Amino acid sequence: MAGTRIREATGEDVPLILSLVRELAEYERLSDEVVATEEGLRENLFGGRRYAEVLIAEHNGAPAGFALFFHNFSTFLGKPGIYLEDLYVKPEFRGAGIGRKLLVRLARLARERDCGRLEWWVLDWNEPSIGFYRKLGAVPMDDWTVYRISGTALEDLASGA
C-alpha cells in the first residue's frame, strides 16, 4: 500500500499508541511525565466509556504518527468542539504532509459533527510546529492563560481542603 493512510485506531493499536505517546513526550522534553500504561489506555480509549479517540497515520504501511482528540463544549457557540490533545509525526516522516493530513481529517470530523472549533495547545518553544499551524490559518489565543490542577493539589481540592 503506497502513500499515506489515516485510519481510526482500534484496541489492537494500544501498544503503538503508547509508543507514539512516549516518542512525543521525548520530543517535548517531558518523558518523565508519562505514566500512562497500556491497560489504562485500553480502558479509557476503547472501554465502556471512551474518553478520547485516536487517528493513526500510516505511510507505505508503516506507523508514521497519530492524533488523539476528544470533544469539549463552547457555551458561547452553543456547540461542541474538538480538542486535539496530541499530534505527532515520527521524525523520519516529517515533511511528507502527514501532519496536515491528520489535521484535515480532524477538520472534516469537526464539520461532520457540527463542531464550532478545533483547538489545541503548543509549547512556546516549538517553532517548527507554530510555523506549521500558522500556515494552516491557526491563530494563537494569547489573551488566555491555561491553568491546571493535578496531583496533590487535585486530591486536596477534591477532598474539600
- Exposure string of 9-22, with b = 16+ CB inside 10 Å and e = fewer, is beeebbeebbebbe
Residue 83 annotated to the active site: no
User: What's the CA gap between 1 and 151, in Å, rounded?
Assistant: 45
Ordered alpha helix ranges (H), 28-97? 38-46
Give the active site residue among 83, 88, 133, 147.
133
Pick from 114, 133, 134, 122: nearest CA to 74: 114
CA quadruple 31, 36, 41, 45: dihedral positive or negative? negative
Pick from 103, 118, 90: nearest CA to 27: 90
Residues noted as catalytic: 133
